[in-house]
Structure 1
Amino acid sequence: MAERGAKWPWVVVVLGVLAIWAFQPGDDSAPAPAGAPPAGAASAPASGSPAPDSSSSPRASGDYTPPHFVPEVRRYAAEAGIDPQLLMAILFNESYKPHGPDVERAWQKMKPEASFGVANMHRAAYEECRRGRPFADRPWEDLPDDPALAVRAAAWHLHDLGAQLPAKWSGSYNRNELMALGYNTGAGNMLAFARGANPGPEARSYLDRLHDNWAKSGELVKA
């Protein structure tokens, strides 16, 4: 779910976060920002919620790039009954901005409606797709700290978009293309594209990036 006009503001946020880190004292006596977890500790899940999936640990490595999440993509695409190549391509499409809890929360302070997690999911989409799912008790605020949850939610959101497509449509796009357009622009627009409407420049650009990312996504998940 790309955020319009976000490229350069993201640079400002990243530079701001790096500046904060650079001027922190080197010992452990410096007070942590309000609400931040202790250094080296993962954020505690909400009461009654399971701990974040330990199969991905980018917080330790600093690696939030899509290839890091091949196991999660395979696992949760199968769980949701969608094409893993599509899910991986979506992660590549959504990797246009830096990820990580500190950066994402800094950005959200500037833009409260910003998306969260490695799949850039907005709150409304997450709240809808988690209903009745195995992660129903996990709040949207967990997404930056738990990339596996973010991948799982994206898989089920794509599943829900696909479930809304008619058995046949008149548009020229295939099922995966329409689901990707739905992920970027919403279900209503996806259905309009299925009926033959033409995507605007931003949606067209998203689809072009999907095509650019398609082959490498397939190589990763099918290797």
Structure 2
Amino acid sequence: MAERRRRGLGWWLVLPVLALALWAWARGGDGPDTKSAAPQSSVKPTPSASRTASADKHTAYDPADYAPQVRTYAKKAGVSAQLLMAILYNESYKPHDPDFERSWQRYKTDSAFGIANMHRAAFDDTKRGRDFADRRWDELPDDRTLAVEAAAWHLHDLAKQLPAHWTGARTKDELLAMGYNAGGGNMLAFARGVRPGSQAQSYLDTLHNNWDKAGTAVRD
């Protein structure tokens, strides 16, 4: 999660009933019902600059479906496609349904939006001077291509903050992942050799677990 991962797994374990109730309310009282969900399309999304929403609200989400966008925007931003995909896997722990995200945001106003879980401040900082400068943060739940593009450029901006050399054995991708999760200031502290807290370490451990399948997903 960009900036700070303040919405960790604990929220979803402690408040599942509330979250589901909010989701049901946003859907007009239907409530989550797997039997009524529309079948998942067999057509894979492709990279597009179009402003049409790329998210299908009622299908299961698999980050690997967005490998074309990941490869495209990682290349444009000069970051690792495997890293970007691994972050999408890291951030896939919650339902990425637009109605659900907006319902949750009404309860937790500092929550993140989109499949890359970006906070408003991170998105607004990242979009400056970019092709998506006129896009809004609240479009992220509906446009997964925009979410991938913004995440790629946020990683680019974090990379520019890193010093030429740093203390310890952390790789560049590990530092960028922790920066994506905990913010640029904490990333620089980790680069100086500060030991990650339990939350940052957990994010890094999850990244390691997702690393191989992320590499497989983005392989041409």
Superposition TM-score, scaled by structure 1 size: 0.82
1:197-208 matches, within 5 Å, as 197-208=194-205
* Cα distance in 1 for residues equivalent to 2:204 and 2:77: 22
Do residues 58 (structure 1) and 56 (structure 2) align? yes
Deviation track 1:50-105 (CA, whole Å, cap 9, x = no partner) reads 85256x4433x623321121111111101111000000000000011111210000
What secondary structure does 1:192 align onto? helix
What is the DSSP-based 3-state SS (H/G/I as helix, E as strand, rest coil) of the residue aligned with 1:58?
coil
Alpha-carbon distance change, 10 to 114 in structure 1, aligned in 2, over 3 angstroms: farther
1:17 to 23, 26, 44: 23
- What is the aligned partner in structure 2 of residue 128 from structure 1? 125
5+ long unaligned stretches in structure 2 = 31-48
Kindly name which structure, 1 or 2, has the bigger radius of gyration based on alpha carbons: 1
Q: 1:20 to 1:185 in 2, by over 3 A?
A: closer
Q: Once structures 1 and 2 are overlaid, which stretch shifts more, 113-122 or 7-16? A: 7-16
Kindly indicate whether residue 89 of structure 2 is the aligned counterpart of residue 92 of structure 1. Answer: yes
1:214 counterpart (211, 214, 217): 211
Q: Deviations over 1:20-71 (max 9, x none)?
A: 64855xxxxxxxxxxxxxxxxxxxxxxxxx85256x4433x62332112111
1:109/1:183 CA distance change after superposition, 3 Å: same
Q: Which letter maps to 1:139?
A: R
Determine the C-alpha separation between the residues in 1 that align with 2:198 and 2:188: 17
Equivalent in the alignment of 1:173: 170
Q: Using the TM superposition, give the Cα deviation of residue 130 of structure 1 relative to its aligned residue in structure 2, in angstroms.
A: 0.3
The answer to whether the 8 Å contact 1:10/1:107 transfers is no
Q: Does residue 1:6 correspond to 2:11, yes or no?
A: yes
User: Per chain length, whose mean CA-contact separation is higher, i.e. which structure has more relative contact order (CA < 8 Å, sep 6+)?
Assistant: 2
Identity between Structure 1 and Structure 2 (%): 53
| Comparing 65-74 and 124-133, the one that deviates more | 65-74
Displacement of 1:202: 0.5
Which stretches in structure 1 are left out of the alignment for 5+ residues? 25-49
Contact 2:113 2:138 in 1 (8 A): yes
1:101 has 2:98 as partner? yes
Shift of 1:200: 0.2
Structure 1 residue ranges, 4+ long, deviating more than 4 angstroms after superposition:
19-24
| Alpha-carbon distance in structure 2 between the residues aligned to 1:75 and 1:22 | 37
Q: Deviations over 1:173-202 (max 9, x none)?
A: 000000000000000100010010000000
- Equivalence map 1:17-96=2 (5 Å): 17-18=23-24, 21=27, 23=29, 51-52=50-51, 56-59=54-57, 62-96=59-93
Shift of 1:19: 6.6
